[in-house]
Structure 1
């Protein structure tokens, strides 16, 4: 629930609040919605530092502070009368995102529980699949009744009250013996080829997810669907993402590379169905949703399976930087493609990226035995 609140007050906020802000202030929509890109870029720059802080001090206090930082940004948004102040607020929110979203949380769980973190990561991604389902209606209700400024104040108050509970639900430190083993392992090298492949897999997946999240309704309208039909089809994504995470929990224990392969194949097939089989748009979106739902699990579990926990903590931040930069640039590039090449241009680009991702996962799968036997994959624990 704490993750849902931080996601809802940062990454997902402008989907509901952007239009009321633009209407009242008169600021250009490109600036209002572009504030999220600025926030993501700040988060990308700070992600490696965030992971290093988790490795050194544990993430308990950092995660608790993330909600406080996002709350500060929301209070500045509520008080902002000029565009620079509004953008400054999103810079601060970007700091909170770096401190408290998935990468910081996964790094914290990896540091605390090592291989046993997998179950917690899967459960958390399942619950946070309801972030938009819960936060968007509540924020929209608040905007309708008290306006967007007071909605920001109310959301900030909720974050200030709830996120310190991280201090209660997470242990204060890793026990001395496991911590000693992590330090001893920190000098071991990581298979650089696998590391780079994973980084690109996560970055391409994040770009595809962001493009679909931002432009799906417009793309479907470009394919000939009415606004009502496009919104109804888009609503298929949420339940399918949650369903895939439930199925993952019920499927039993397996190496996460297989989950990664299923995820990227479903995303690729789903995007291509939407692009080339008009009568199968709903099926394509369901398949895409299933694959994208698994993507969040793969982000946490696959690096944990391929590197020692100490390196997992530090490298999660480095690996997340290209993903966040890609997410920050995606709305701009996607808007250009939609304007100049139409809906099919966007879908063709996403289909190519999805196909590349399938190839990258296959490459990691083929390298897996070598990765397992590499020095950094020692079983000495």
Structure 2
């Protein structure tokens, strides 16, 4: 009997909320008090965060390979300890060197404790049914900022930023570590904790080696271009809305629609899974990105247009999280899935680390509207890449079980 997925999704959902909230979303709340406490500029503190994201990108593929080899349980559990250590180093930091050391440790852990590790765990446990499990997990993970931004503000006010980071470290050890060890599972194809067989492997599509490499490159290009846009929007959305000539009240109201749009889009995607494949839903999901920027550029200064812009972007961003987990599985299969996610995530994370500062420099030199045009162009490039990939793999039958290892090696050795 296959491992019941309900408890696994719930447990990993909790670890995603804690993991995202205490690491990736933490600087939004604690960067300013950290900078003030250490006598540093906000740019230096956020630069240390960008360094951590870069480390995550450089180590994404090795981390994925470890998950494939050792199983998500061991890797995600070890990464929870490393993340806690990084948070404690940040809490004890006396200057920029301490921040860089702490974010180096966090960068080593990020890809394993966040979606890549959880997606690999669900794929090993659910096999061909992993797409729905991935969608459910992202619904829970989407609550991280909603939960931890107010928690972080409250803890910082009551205890200070150093004690807040210590609390975050304790949460990773007391909540994430035991849940990862109990529920994340072993390597794909291994038997579960109760000696039950894991779900059958997802075969993926039968692709010749050349088409397989091309599809991998196009997939990496899609995610990398989107990563620049998403990282920039996370850092500069209020500034971009303000640059459209909107008042503060409109900017705040429009920005608040982001989370609602993300969750709503994920719910719709989950309801439509029985009718549309992951490959069929990917291009329309990406198409929402250039559509959002087209609205912002066509009707600047209009509150309704700003709201529509945020809603379209929020839907695209919410769906892209699911696409990033389900599309590689549908095309390339579950063998070597952890390393495959790391392969396509590496370039995207490197770009995401540099995007906010690069975009800020562009806006200072040329203005917000020029920045919007850049993001629109990159979004169009992401759409073109995913459309081209869909054409490359269109109509290909599922891969047979013959010589799966050879086809898996073709995907793993094709670096984007």
TM-score normalized by the length of structure 2? 0.85
For 1:325 and 1:181, how far apart are their aligned partners in 2? 31
The answer on 1:170 being equivalent to 2:191 is no
3-state DSSP of counterpart to 2:185:
coil
Aligned to 2:400: 379
- The count of corresponding residues between Structure 1 and Structure 2 is 375
Aligned to 2:319: 294
**Gap runs ≥5 in structure 1:** none
The answer on 1:70 being equivalent to 2:86 is no
The answer on 1:207 being equivalent to 2:228 is yes
State the shift of 1:364 in Å: 1.8
Contact 1:270 1:287 in 2 (8 A): yes
Aligned to 1:194: 215
Q: Deviations over 1:260-296 (max 9, x none)?
A: 1121111111122112212211111111111111000
Aligned to 2:240: 219
Contact 1:51 1:104 in 2 (8 A): yes
The answer on 1:235 being equivalent to 2:267 is no
Within 5 Å, give how 1:186-335 maps onto structure 2: 189=209, 191-253=212-274, 254-278=276-300, 279=302, 280-335=305-360
For 1:80 and 1:357, how far apart are their aligned partners in 2? 39
The answer on 1:101 being equivalent to 2:126 is no
Contact 2:202 2:329 in 1 (8 A): no
Q: Deviations over 1:71-111 (max 9, x none)?
A: 11111111111220121111111111032221222223223
State the shift of 1:380 in Å: 2.9
For 1:364 and 1:86, how far apart are their aligned partners in 2? 40
3-state DSSP of counterpart to 1:33:
helix
Aligned to 1:57: 70
For 2:270 and 2:200, how far apart are their aligned partners in 1? 31
Aligned to 2:127: 114
**Gap runs ≥5 in structure 2:** 1-13, 192-196, 403-416
Contact 2:264 2:315 in 1 (8 A): yes
Aligned to 2:194: none
CA RMSD of aligned residues (A): 2.2
Contact 2:16 2:114 in 1 (8 A): yes
For 1:244 and 1:181, how far apart are their aligned partners in 2? 28
For 1:139 and 1:369, how far apart are their aligned partners in 2? 46
Aligned to 1:40: 53
State the shift of 1:229 in Å: 2.6
Q: Greater helix share, 1 or 2?
A: 1
For 1:82 and 1:357, how far apart are their aligned partners in 2? 39
- In the superposition, relative to structure 1, how do residues 124 and 234 fare at CA in structure 2: closer, same or farther (>3 Å)? same
TM-score normalized by the length of structure 1? 0.93
Q: Deviations over 1:108-166 (max 9, x none)?
A: 32233322211111111111111111110000110011111111111111111001211
Contact 1:271 1:284 in 2 (8 A): yes
For 2:17 and 2:30, how far apart are their aligned partners in 1? 17
Aligned to 1:11: 24
Given the alignment, which residue of 326, 341, 345 partners 2:366? 341
3-state DSSP of counterpart to 1:191:
helix
Contact 1:257 1:361 in 2 (8 A): no
